[in-house]
Amino acid sequence: MIEAKGITKRYGELVAVDDVSFSVEKGEVVGFLGPNGAGKTTTMRILTGFMPPTDGTAVIAGFDIFEEPVAARRSVGYLPENLPLYPEMSVIPYLDYVAKIHDVPRRRRREGIERALERCGLTEVRTRVIGDLSKGFRQRVGLAQAIVHDPPVLILDEPTVGLDPLQIQDIRSLITELAAPRDGETQHTIILSTHILPEVAAICQRVILINEGRKTVDAPLAELTSQGHSLEELFARETAHDVVAEQRGAAEAGSGGPGAAP
């Protein structure tokens, strides 16, 4: 359902994403992990068609982001890191506006909005002004705008950041429901980034970890946490790796190169 093929993004000298490939199956919820600046947001922006890669491509629901960009973009719902919600707008006109941007025909917009309101638990606040809603509800509006055009793929960049523990639980259950829907509803394939490792344990089936732009882990959660290992240990090990190598490199350089005694 999502296929990333050698995605690379350079900003001048900086390689923000370096030859990242992975695939995500239908209905999977994948946790996208990595320290600050690892390249998660950059990768997500590329997958959603927000920004072109320097190299590589991606296929979303069968559509290549270069060859069929419109169809690829229509197949994905995106909750960006800092969603620009319009605080002065009410919930329904905002969702209608987003549906319009996604080219949902007028006759299907109403239905899409109703479905998004219902699935995101927004029915009671449907007539409210977005700016007056609590942060948790605004986050639900963010999710609703990601699903209003009923895309099969969802890319969620830190969906629970800044929420209180109860709101976090709420959003997590919502994400789980979106991947395992009731009859007749779209089953979403989801990639979400987060810094909360228990979140990954709670809702993801698979973990992809990137560090300094490179993919270093891509495995089922169950496999990673078998034998009593925790995700915290994995994260520490995978992200400390380069620091250790750098320190070793620096020590070797300082002591006369690789051949020198430690």
Ligand X SMILES: Nc1ncnc2c1ncn2[C@@H]1O[C@H](COP(=O)(O)OP(=O)(O)OP(=O)(O)O)[C@@H](O)[C@H]1O
Give the footprint of ligand X on this chain (CB under 6 A): 11, 14, 16, 34, 36-42
* Smallest separation, CB 51 to ligand X (Å): 8
Q: CA triplet 182, 187, 190: central angle to 5 degrees?
A: 130
- Euclidean distance between CA atoms 231 and 99, whole angstroms: 38
211 is an interface residue for Mg ion by CB under 5 A:
no
CB closer to ligand X out of 36 and 127 = 36
Alpha helix (H) residue ranges in 37-156: 40-47, 69-74, 91-101, 106-119, 135-147
Nearest to 191 by CA among 174, 203, 173, 177: 203
Write down the least CB distance from residue 204 to ligand X, Å.
17
Which one, 39 or 56, has the nearer CB to ligand X? 39
Give the chain's count of helices (H) and strands (E).
Answer: 9, 10
Tell the smallest beta-carbon distance from residue 157 to Mg ion (Å).
Answer: 6
Name the closest residue to Mg ion (Cβ): 41
DSSP state of 79: E
Residue 36 corresponds to which tokens in the numbers above?
A: 């600050």
Contact region with Mg ion (CB under 5 A), list: 35-43, 142-150, 178-186, 223-231:
35-43
* Residue 41 lies near Mg ion (rule: CB under 5 A): yes
Eight-class DSSP state of 228: G
Q: How far is the CB of 125 from ligand X (least distance, A)?
A: 28
Instruction: Read off φ and ψ for residue 89, nearest 5 degrees.
Output: -85, 155
Nearest C-alpha neighbor of 142 from the set 126, 153, 156: 156
The stretch near Mg ion (CB under 5 A) out of 34-42, 93-101, 104-112, 168-176 is 34-42
CB nearer to ligand X: pick between 34 and 159: 34
Q: Indicate which of Mg ion, ligand X, none lies near residue 250 (CB less than 5 to 8 Å, by partner kind).
A: none
Interface residue list for Mg ion (CB under 5 A): 40-41
